[in-house]
Structure 1
Amino acid sequence: MADFATLDELKARLDWTLDADEERIAASALEDASDLARAYAGRDWEPVTAAPRLVRTMVLKACKRYMNNPSGYTQSRAGDETLGWNDGAGDDAGTVRFTRDEQTMLAELGGRKPGLYSVGVSAWGSDVRRYRNRQSWGYNRDIPAGFVPSASGKDIPLFADEEEPW
């Protein structure tokens, strides 16, 4: 699979010239970020040029963050040479990663929309009947009509009748 961004595009965003080792690391970071973008989006774009530009932008941002701090340090001192990191990023410290907002945006770009959904429910073995909703807006609509099993053995109607289905 191709990466969403090129090494030259990443080099243009960095403040220094990469040596051979850093180029190798940057190429791996682009591959990892592209794979993560596909995973968070839940889809792949073939060819990669079919992906929204925002995917490329987020891949480049994640790679730039990683290249600026590949070890995941959270503290540095020049005087006594103190370096430090914490568990704030968890297992992702020192790896290519997307922020929570970027993960959400990638999911939305891939077609995953978070939120509540409604699902129609009907009784087992029900049929659909037309009725006119006289109390509301006066339109016709299909409703399921059937029975719900009960513990007593006598089935309970899902709707009272066609005149008053609720």
Structure 2
Amino acid sequence: MLATVAQLEARLGEPPGSLAGEDLARATAALEDASVLVAAYGSRTWTIETVPDTARVVVLRLARRFWDNPEGLNYEALGDHTVSRAAASTFLTPEERALVAGAAGSAGHAGVYSVGTPGVWS
């Protein structure tokens, strides 16, 4: 995991150490899932001790989305009450991917590409 349950609890407005039982298991799973997704865009070698702060923030934001909206719903209705979520994605947004890639030092240039260099025949 690239963030702690206590850090997630703070973002949930809960006192440190207050999550227990099913809630603690759910928070841990959300952090594990978010950490895997962030590492896929950043560095699979990051640990909780080495993850850049920017990437940790993205982990916590994504884990919070998992917590608040585990089904990834955009819209809910119950009788006359409706809720619409602008950012219901349970994956990283393009902005978050760019932040993580930047923290990993790749500045968003994923994949294979070529760089022209001057040669003898230029």
TM-score for the superposition, normalised by structure 2: 0.72
Q: State the alpha-carbon separation in 1 of the partners of residues 96 and 37 from structure 2.
A: 11
- Of structures 1 and 2, the one with the larger relative CO (CA 8 A, separation 6+) is 2
RMSD of the TM alignment (CA)?
3.1
Calculate percent identity across the aligned residue pairs.
31
2:75 corresponding residue in structure 1: 75
Number of paired residues? 115
The aligned counterpart of 1:99 is 93
**Contact kept? 1:73, 1:83, Cα under 8 Å:** no
| SS of corresponding position for 1:51 | coil
Compute the displacement of 1:70 (Å). 1.0
1:30 Cα deviation (Å)?
0.5
**Structure 1 residue 73: Cα displacement:** 2.1
Q: How much does 1:19 deviate? A: 5.3
Q: Distance in 1 between matches of 2:41 and 2:75?
A: 29
How many angstroms apart in 2 are the aligned matches of 1:83 and 1:48? 35
What do residues 3-36 of structure 1 show as CA deviations (whole Å, max 9, x unaligned)? 1111111111114664522221210111111111
Give the structure-1-normalised TM-score: 0.55
| Structure with the larger strand share | 1
- Kept in 1, the 8 Å contact 2:54–2:99? The answer is no
Using the TM superposition, give the Cα deviation of residue 117 of structure 1 relative to its aligned residue in structure 2, in angstroms.
6.0
Task: Name stretches of at least 5 consecutive residues in structure 2 with no aligned partner.
Answer: none
Secondary structure at the residue paired with 1:144? coil
Structure 1 residue runs of 5 or longer lacking an equivalent are: 122-142, 146-165
Q: Which has the higher helix share?
A: 2
**Structure 2 contact 62–92 (Cα < 8 Å) conserved:** yes
**For residues 109 and 39 of structure 1, what CA distance do their matches in structure 2 show?**
13
1:11 and 1:18 in contact (8 A); partners too? yes
